[in-house]
Chains A and B, each alone.
Chain A
Amino acid sequence: MRDSTPTVGSPAELARALDATGYLADDGVAMAAFLAIRMGRPLFCEGEPGTGKTSLATALSEAFDLPLIRLQCHEGIDAAQALYDWDFPRQLLHLRTLEAASTGLLEADTVERSLYTERFLLARPLLRALTEAPCVLLVDEIDRADDEFEAFLLQVLDENAVTIPELGEVRAATPPLVVLTSNRTREVHDALKRRCLYHWLEHPDLAREVAILRRRIPGIGPDLAAQVAHAVHSLREMELLKPPGVAEALDWARALRELDRDVLDAETAAATLGAVLKYREDLERVARAGLDRLLAG
């Protein structure tokens, strides 16, 4: 597996491979990821927080037994943080050592060449993805980065190669499988989207969420899983500041398992609601609406 790009015959086959890692993909996700692999295109995932954008990349890396390289984007991220940088302190030290050892026998050109070699190169996620490919490259929350960074990323994604002035071109032997995620805090440039396949992730439906809970929480009973999924779905219907995602549902179920509860009653829910709701206003709103009603649906 390691020496070539992942191969997969059909979306259903991919869904089964993802399933084996505990990621339950619906038809849309399976098809989008399948096409991304087959067409060698980056996959651009958007959707509400907690719908499984980031975990899709993790699941893909697990399913194909490929290393996962993650680039977390933030405001002001630049090439040095994403691609590579030179280890300046070590270069300085090396310079001093050469100086001490040589006593005037050195040629400036040779010294310079010795400084800009791979031993002083600090590979950041993008360069690592190109050199270690095949791998899964997760470019997380691209909407947090600036326009300039998007433009820079475009070049890397287009050519699967980058030029380091002192060393020359580094080209990926096999293109990495790229997953980009965005929470839509800002519109990502069309030029970037054009190069990608697009998928909008929804919260899972009730049956799928129950299945996910049972899959991911060892020892959870079918009743408790259904109760948690149901309550989380009701919460998503309310006008909350932060509707819970799948991650919150999992947290909640885990919290209940830690407390050895097998049913979700109003008392237990009140005690553990902090695992699902993260705003005081939301907690108050749910308390006002009545926990019994939430559980009864």
Chain B
Amino acid sequence: MPAAQGAGDPLVGLAGFAHALAAAGLPVASDAVAAFTRALREVEVGNPEQVYWAGRATLCRGPDDIPRYDSAFAAWFGGTVPARTPRSGELPRRARTAAMTTTNGGDIGGDAPQLRVAADDTEVLRHRNIADLTAAERAHLAELIAALRPRPPARPAIRMRPARRGTVDPRRTVRGMLAAGGEPVRPSLHRKATRPRRMVLLIDVSGSMSPYADALLRFAHVVARGNPGGTEVFSLGTRLTRLSRALRVRDPEVALAAAGRAVPDWAGGTRLGETLRAFLDRWGRRGVARGAVVVIFSDGWERGDPTLLAEQMAQLRRLARTVLWVNPHAGADGYEPVQSGIAAALPFVDRLLAGHSLATLQELLEVARRT
């Protein structure tokens, strides 16, 4: 019946369809609707299939949009979606609301936390284990993390920049000669510029890592803000979730809330091998991991098969420039990498680092930059 209304007045129909799209999770900008209207003039409006394709070409912006578009189209125009086989790897991931982390990182003592923070020396806090902090100390730590100004690792660029030493820059030299009326001048020199190298952060959000999840996400946000085009962040748990887009928002609280909503498997189990394979298949091999500095934050508790993890780590090692493994437990005295996961992964890791405190996270940034 909605289709009948839409047929009477095209504008009403379009507005209704836009609503159906928004309800299906695909909000549409007005210029896209304008393009859709324009496209409808080119097709046979009586032919549902043509309308379907016209809408899909103008209203969708990525493969994740297509299932949403399909359901809205079916809802509005009544089940005339041309048959196609959705690829298993590209099914939409519905965001589900989930609690961020347990708020009690230690004792939520009733005794004036502000006073304790004031007394707490920042330098001491830097070296404290994040898992042992009180709620007030965590708030302080969040500020300290937000104040980090990480410099991304660099790689040589194709472009050149003027320099004192290097090769002759013909463009600037010719201009110099022209300015001198054609007389030879001292040649201008240039050399390769550098560009930020891509960084990929893979954060384990399983139950055993939950005391660190909030701090690590804040850390990831700071890194992503420092180099928005060149940072990719994913959560690992029972499944893989891409957080890069959510973390690109400037405000840390908004970004973290968005990331929290995106991850469906907070504090669940870990299937490192499988999620790592999902990362490599969908993103890594296509270019995200190529030549990048890849950092895995995980304690290495693997519920799945460690041989699969070893296989995937070997793949990752061949793709990435550097693979760093950050294990919060590695900072503890007497730590031995014996958990099945980390033991399998270790041969393919460039460095195993501790990430249990702000100081160790800063050290990680230094190590990443020097690779």
Interface, chain A (partner B; CB < 8 A) = 11, 27-28, 31-32, 34-36, 38-39, 41, 46-48, 74-78, 86, 88-89, 91-92, 95, 98-99, 106, 108, 111-112, 115, 143-144, 146-147, 183-187, 190, 193-194, 197-200, 202, 205, 241-242, 281
Query: Smallest distance from the beta carbon of A141 to chain B beta carbons, Å?
Result: 9
Q: Considering the chains assembled together, what is the distance between the CA atoms of A271 and B281 in angstroms?
A: 27
- Inter-chain contact A46/B35, CB cutoff 8 Å: no
Q: Which of A11, A75, A108 contacts B178 (CB 8 A)?
A: A108
8 closest cross-chain pairs (CB), A and B: A185-B287, A76-B158, A31-B53, A88-B170, A185-B286, A197-B57, A32-B57, A38-B42
- Inter-chain contact B61/A27, CB cutoff 8 Å: no
Q: Which residues of chain A come closer than 8 Å to B336, judged between CB atoms? A: none
- Inter-chain contact A200/B66, CB cutoff 8 Å: yes
- Inter-chain contact A147/B229, CB cutoff 8 Å: yes
**Of all chain B residues, which has the CB nearest A144?**
B287
Query: Smallest distance from the beta carbon of A145 to chain B beta carbons, Å?
Result: 11
- Having A31-B43, A31-B54, A193-B61, one finds 13 other A-B pairs with CB under 8 Å, namely A35-B54, A38-B42, A39-B35, A39-B39, A76-B195, A78-B158, A146-B195, A185-B283, A185-B290, A198-B60, A198-B62, A200-B60, A241-B315
- Given known pairs A38-B42, A187-B245, the reply for A11 and B50 (CB within 8 Å) is yes
Residue B285, interface by CB 8 Å: yes
Q: Considering the chains assembled together, what is the distance between the CA atoms of A244 and B29 in angstroms?
A: 36
Contact with A along B150-172 (1 / 0, CB 8 A): 00000001110000000000110
Q: Which of B32, B58, B181 contacts A108 (CB 8 A)?
A: B181
Residue B182, interface by CB 8 Å: yes
Q: Which residues of chain A come closer than 8 Å to B32, judged between CB atoms? A: 194
- Given known pairs A88-B170, A199-B57, the reply for A111 and B182 (CB within 8 Å) is yes
**Of all chain A residues, which has the CB nearest B193?**
A76
Query: Smallest distance from the beta carbon of A293 to chain B beta carbons, Å?
Result: 20
Residue B305, interface by CB 8 Å: no
**Of all chain A residues, which has the CB nearest B232?**
A186
Q: Considering the chains assembled together, what is the distance between the CA atoms of A144 and B88 in angstroms?
A: 25
Q: Which of B49, B177, B287 contacts A186 (CB 8 A)?
A: B287
Interface, chain B (partner A; CB < 8 A) = 29, 31-32, 35, 38-39, 42-43, 49-50, 53-54, 56-58, 60-63, 66, 82, 84-85, 87, 157-159, 170-171, 174, 177-178, 181-182, 195, 229, 244-245, 281, 283, 285-288, 290, 311, 315
- Inter-chain contact A200/B63, CB cutoff 8 Å: yes
Q: Which of A92, A144, A198, A200 contacts B170 (CB 8 A)?
A: A92
Q: Which residues of chain A come closer than 8 Å to B54, judged between CB atoms? A: 31, 35
Q: Which of B35, B178, B244, B288 contacts A111 (CB 8 A)?
A: B178
Q: Which of B35, B63, B158, B181 contacts A75 (CB 8 A)?
A: B158
Q: Considering the chains assembled together, what is the distance between the CA atoms of A99 and B178 in angstroms?
A: 12
- Inter-chain contact B288/A185, CB cutoff 8 Å: yes
- Inter-chain contact B174/A202, CB cutoff 8 Å: no
Q: Considering the chains assembled together, what is the distance between the CA atoms of A34 and B61 in angstroms?
A: 18
- Inter-chain contact B57/A35, CB cutoff 8 Å: yes
Q: Which residues of chain B come closer than 8 Å to A77, judged between CB atoms? A: 158
Q: Which residues of chain A come closer than 8 Å to B245, judged between CB atoms? A: 187
Residue of B61, B66, B285 with most partner-chain A CB within 10 A = B61
Q: Which residues of chain B come closer than 8 Å to A46, judged between CB atoms? A: 62-63
**Of all chain B residues, which has the CB nearest A78?**
B159
Query: Smallest distance from the beta carbon of B77 to chain A beta carbons, Å?
Result: 16
- Inter-chain contact A190/B61, CB cutoff 8 Å: yes
Query: Smallest distance from the beta carbon of A264 to chain B beta carbons, Å?
Result: 24
Q: Which residues of chain B come closer than 8 Å to A89, judged between CB atoms? A: 170
- Inter-chain contact A39/B182, CB cutoff 8 Å: no
Q: Which residues of chain A come closer than 8 Å to B57, judged between CB atoms? A: 31-32, 35-36, 197-199
Q: Which residues of chain B come closer than 8 Å to A27, judged between CB atoms? A: 49, 53, 82
Q: Considering the chains assembled together, what is the distance between the CA atoms of A186 and B39 in angstroms?
A: 28
Q: Considering the chains assembled together, what is the distance between the CA atoms of A265 and B13 in angstroms?
A: 55
- Inter-chain contact A39/B178, CB cutoff 8 Å: no
- Inter-chain contact B170/A115, CB cutoff 8 Å: no
Query: Smallest distance from the beta carbon of B278 to chain A beta carbons, Å?
Result: 10
Query: Smallest distance from the beta carbon of B213 to chain A beta carbons, Å?
Result: 24
Query: Smallest distance from the beta carbon of B291 to chain A beta carbons, Å?
Result: 9
- Inter-chain contact A146/B53, CB cutoff 8 Å: no
- Given known pairs A27-B53, A89-B170, A200-B63, the reply for A99 and B182 (CB within 8 Å) is yes
- Inter-chain contact B182/A98, CB cutoff 8 Å: yes
Q: Considering the chains assembled together, what is the distance between the CA atoms of A146 and B61 in angstroms?
A: 19
Query: Smallest distance from the beta carbon of B339 to chain A beta carbons, Å?
Result: 25
- Inter-chain contact A202/B229, CB cutoff 8 Å: no
